[in-house]
Amino acid sequence: MTAARARFTAPIRAGSRFLLGLLLAAAVWEGAVILLGIRPHILPRLSEVLSAIALTPGAYRDGFLRTLAETLIGFVAGAGIGVLNGVAFFRAPVLRDMLFPIFVVSQTIPVIAFGALVVLWFGNTLMAKAVIAFYLTFFPVTVNTLLGLNAVDPRQVALLRSFGASGRQVLLRLQLPMALPQIFVALRLAASLSLVGAIVGEWFGDTTGIGVLLLQAMYNENVVALWAAILCSALLGTGFYALVALAERRIVFWGAEQ
Amino acid sequence: MREVSKSFGTVQALRGFALSVQGGEFVTVVGPSGCGKSTLFNIVAGLDEPDDGGILRFKDRGCHARELLGRVSFMPQRDLLLPWRNVIDNAILANEIEGASRRDARARALAMLPEFGLAGFEKQYPHQLSGGMRQRVALMRTFLFERELMLLDEPFGALDALTRTMMQRWLLDVWQRHRRTILFITHDVDEAIFLGDRVLVMTARPGAVKLARQVDLPRPRTPDLVTAPEFVALKREILDAIEEEAMKSFIASTGA
């Protein structure tokens, strides 16, 4: 039963060590600014940044939630469409040969060039940002889904076929689950990319969001507000990534074992 | 099942191979490596079509190999368990595919666990099991998929010698109770004689039947059988046949 107990205590221990690390980093930040006499417009003290957030918590909370919504919608759409694309390309190589190069070309266009267009099309809406987040995420998910599906052991497919399985049964019971570890690699990447997409999307014009906070702080040369916005985006990015990683560990519990 | 016979002319793997298996019979196939044993199995499992001119008969009816998909229970060399399914759910995979109710299949599998030495392991996942246990789960999957013909492709090839003899005796035991028709590939002559009602020796590529010998040894068979004079004489004959074929393929590969 020690193994079972280790399963529960190990994450707690790792978590508490991580918190300790965070506190240490915070102390180093605060201490270094004071001890080395770093000027506030280079690097403000952490406590100053935190109290700036505490002064107008509403603005930061709204910005956080807004960007979170854009990121989530873009991520979910990108993941869903990406997996569907991967499956479609896997089942229909003709489709893959026709569309895959176009996808690659689309991904070489810098998102900045593309962003203005999306805002023109969708207006200054939440949807416009979600579309940019989607644009950044669907491609890696497509590629990794296809990779994962192609990597399934043909002997395993032969076994299921010998049981009389249809193509659909082979896909749902074997190929997709087998591809999950690969798909999750892309999803972790997509978690970070969708946040980038949402923030960049906000730069093309909006009134709330972390990207907006970043821009405002930049124009006002308000270094404290800039750091506050950076902290918010760090919290959002890390939290979202951690959630995806946690889901991965729960769902792909068997690891890379084949 | 009455009769499966096939004769077909492939350029490479098999040529003019003919075999008929009676219901309830345990036939073992031995041959030098690369003699087309696996090709033969893939055809009987319905995964590959023989070349034109080949004749397959199943239950006294001519058929295409692909019609055999889902009608023969096939066990490949590796266990090929799905890592996200526990022992029970791996065992019922084939039943689930043919549309059986999961609950019934699980109940049947659960009742079968002790016979396969897996009692109490139903909730374990493949990565938590030993090689011998994984192989037994794969065998259980094959047994639960109740078909007239079972194809076993070197099922014990990856196991250590001790586990292997244990598994052989155990397989005979299970076979005697369930009376299935078994076609069993191996490269171990002892295993072939010990298990089979009939032993087939295949020629070097292109594979054909070199020698077919009835094994008239009493059942149930015990481990000391391997030192019995009849066993040794049969083994001698089969080894000679294999040796001859192995030399042929060796000369062919080095002489070219």
Angle at B156 between CA B152 and CA B161, to 5 degrees: 155
CA-CA distance, B141 to B35, in Å (whole number)? 27
In a domain, A31, yes or no: no
For tokens 């040794």, the residue is B232
In a domain, A258, yes or no: no
My answer on whether omega of the bond before B206 falls inside 30° of 0, hence cis, is yes
CA-CA distance, B240 to B252, in Å (whole number)? 18
CATH number for the domain spanning A211: value is: 1.10.3720.10
Could you give the number of structural domains in chain A?
Answer: 1
Nearest CB among B84, B98, B125 relative to A163 is that of B98
The domain B6-71+148-255: what is its CATH number?
3.40.50.300
Task: State the average pLDDT for chain B.
Answer: 82
Output the pLDDT for position B2. Answer: 44
In a domain, A39, yes or no: no
- Starting at the edge strand that comes first in sequence, how are the strands of the sheet with B181-185 ordered? B72-75, B149-153, B181-185, B26-30, B198-202, B209-214
In a domain, A196, yes or no: yes
Q: Which parts of chain A have pLDDT scores under 50?
A: 1, 257-258
Domain locations in chain B as residue ranges = 6-71+148-255, 79-146
Do residues A210 and A236 lie in contact, with contact meaning Cβ atoms separated by under 8 Å? Answer: yes
If contacts are CB pairs under 8 Å, which of residues 181-240 in chain B contact chain A?
none
How far is B25 from chain A, CA to nearest CA, in Å? 21
Percentage of chain A beyond pLDDT 70 is 95
Q: What is the mean pLDDT of residues B54-62?
A: 73
Query: How confident is the model over B136-195, as pLDDT tens digits?
Result: 899 899 988 888 888 898 888 877 888 788 888 888 888 888 788 899 988 888 889 999
CA-CA distance, A212 to A198, in Å (whole number)? 11
Nearest CB among A153, A161, A163 relative to B145 is that of A163
Q: How many CB pairs under 8 A join A and B?
A: 61
Nearest CB among B42, B73, B97 relative to A160 is that of B97
My answer on whether omega of the bond before B50 falls inside 30° of 0, hence cis, is no
Domain of residue A94, residue span: 62-251
Output the pLDDT for position B62. Answer: 74
Query: How confident is the model over A72-98, as pLDDT tens digits?
Result: 999 999 999 999 999 999 999 999 999
Output the pLDDT for position B255. Answer: 59
Query: How confident is the model over B182-233, as pLDDT tens digits?
Result: 999 888 888 899 998 999 888 876 777 778 888 888 878 887 888 888 888 8
CA-CA distance, B166 to B132, in Å (whole number)? 10
In a domain, A195, yes or no: yes
How high is the ipTM of this complex?
0.81
Put simply, the answer to whether A253 touches B84 (Cβ < 8 Å) is: yes
